[in-house]
A and B are shown apart, each in its own frame.
Chain A
């Protein structure tokens, strides 16, 4: 299948064509947002990280911002720095420039405050936006898609309808040569023995199991039963009793596809096909990790009705819950609730999910995009704030 996308100098393909205004530290968020707010075609990425953290986390922030800047949905990038942060801003800029993308930096402490930095940033972003608007959509193969997977505010319909339907679409996309990223390590706990069997070889299986074990150890170190945190109170209200049950439903998102490799958070896959990426289940960190890994589209299944989107990667919402479909119309893109009582076959539902992926990749807007519900973003760190 073909879709209409934006070709980038490094060979990547965008499904959107934004100027990204990336804050390099929590303390520069206001200016990044102010700049993006004044330039049509610009979007801001803000987060809570980048300073007073342990070196591994600062390295994580630097890498995640580099990955976000390189994401093919951005035509150009403006970095907004405070000037004294722990993020390696020069490294972020170099990484983005290396993929052939225009990148500029504005530094609040050098410009002399927010007002001057905003003015300079707006002028720079305007020029970038005009240049970006000259890039046309061209026909691209579905193998250029890098699809991120997410399920959130799940209930038991997620595992029975929405996730298996997405699994069908994933099987097709991977068969066509596309890339797919599965994350949410917490939501593999209890189902890892099944996922391990879907890994390409023993090494990949071992890496996957070690990520799951690391996540569970982190949780157990808190000395409590994680139920209530995972599964969430909403999951429990929807009928999910344990993390094992939630996980068994969650892994249906990949169908029978083989896992080719396992990566750390935000790492760009070096292979095509399905890969597994370290990440938590929570939306801001998960969606950001997918975007940093180069996802140009995300499909997000939900039972109870999760509204979250991301600033520059379209997030398609699929539900298997008829009540949610009717009640949450301004957030849901697609319903496969007919699968629940056998009115629609899983194959047909999967076909509709696949078609929605191609349409959205070609420019059809998601509910999250038209409603502006696109602020679920933060970088996943595991160490303390110090």
Chain B
């Protein structure tokens, strides 16, 4: 099965699209040698991320097995994960 997205580390809660994924599609998401199906709610562009499971507001976003930011709202499985629902925790002069 042709993969649509890949997960870098098993503990990640997001996957990265390696091709454009149209809304409504059950995306083939590669986790190591295995694949799981995740239905995407809106179009996900190549290179963008989708949630693998429900991520609660304030929860950490994990990619490369490491924290890449924090959810600013609840994010549903298959939802686009990007600047509209994730904030950085670094370089935040506005919070100082």
Task: Find B8's partner among A160, A224, A241 (CB 8 Å cutoff).
Answer: A160
Q: Shortest 3 CB-CB distances between A and B: which pairs?
A: A239-B47, A226-B91, A242-B88
Task: Check A223 for interface membership: any CB of B closer than 8 A.
Answer: yes
Could you say which residues of chain B place their CB within 8 Å of the CB of A194? Answer: 66
Task: Find A225's partner among B47, B49, B92 (CB 8 Å cutoff).
Answer: B92
| Residue ranges of B at the interface with A (Cβ–Cβ < 8 Å) | 2-3, 6, 8, 16-18, 45-49, 61, 63-64, 66-69, 81-83, 86-96
Contact B18 A190 (CB under 8 A): no
Contact A244 B67 (CB under 8 A): yes
Q: A160-B16, A239-B48, A341-B3 are in contact. Are A245 and B63 (CB under 8 A)?
A: yes
Q: How far, in whole Å, are A323 and B61 apart by their CA atoms in the complex?
A: 28
Q: How far, in whole Å, are A156 and B18 apart by their CA atoms in the complex?
A: 9
How many A-B contacts are there with CB distance less than 8 Å? 104
Task: Find B66's partner among A155, A189, A239, A248 (CB 8 Å cutoff).
Answer: A248
Task: Find B49's partner among A157, A230, A241, A249 (CB 8 Å cutoff).
Answer: A241
Annotate A314-343 by CB proximity to B: 1 below 8 A, 0 otherwise: 000000010100000000000000001110
Contact A230 B91 (CB under 8 A): yes
Contact B88 A239 (CB under 8 A): no
Task: Check A222 for interface membership: any CB of B closer than 8 A.
Answer: yes
| Residue ranges of A at the interface with B (Cβ–Cβ < 8 Å) | 155-157, 159-160, 189-191, 194, 216, 219-227, 230, 236, 238-239, 241-245, 248-249, 303, 321, 323, 340-342
List 19 A–B pairs whose Cβ atoms lie within 8 Å, in order of A's numbering: A189-B90, A190-B88, A219-B93, A220-B96, A223-B94, A223-B96, A230-B91, A236-B82, A241-B83, A241-B86, A242-B86, A242-B87, A243-B91, A244-B88, A244-B90, A245-B63, A245-B68, A248-B63, A249-B64
Could you say which residues of chain A place their CB within 8 Å of the CB of B63? Answer: 245, 248
Closest Cβ neighbor of B64 among chain A residues: A248
Q: A239-B16, A239-B47, A241-B81 are in contact. Are A160 and B89 (CB under 8 A)?
A: no
Contact B48 A243 (CB under 8 A): no
Contact A216 B66 (CB under 8 A): no
Shortest C-beta distance, A377 to chain B (Å), equals: 26
Contact A160 B6 (CB under 8 A): yes
Could you say which residues of chain A place their CB within 8 Å of the CB of B3? Answer: 341-342
Q: How far, in whole Å, are A249 and B66 apart by their CA atoms in the complex?
A: 11
Could you say which residues of chain A place their CB within 8 Å of the CB of B86? Answer: 241-242
Q: How far, in whole Å, are A243 and B63 apart by their CA atoms in the complex?
A: 13
Could you say which residues of chain A place their CB within 8 Å of the CB of B48? Answer: 156, 239
Could you say which residues of chain A place their CB within 8 Å of the CB of B82? Answer: 236, 239, 241
| 20 additional contacts (CB under 8 A) given A219-B93, A244-B89, A249-B64 | A156-B16, A156-B48, A160-B8, A160-B16, A190-B88, A220-B96, A223-B93, A223-B96, A227-B88, A236-B83, A239-B46, A239-B47, A242-B88, A244-B68, A245-B64, A303-B47, A323-B46, A340-B18, A341-B2, A341-B18
Could you say which residues of chain B place their CB within 8 Å of the CB of A216? Answer: 90-91
Could you say which residues of chain A place their CB within 8 Å of the CB of B87? Answer: 225, 227, 242
Q: How far, in whole Å, are A222 and B63 apart by their CA atoms in the complex?
A: 28
Contact B92 A220 (CB under 8 A): yes
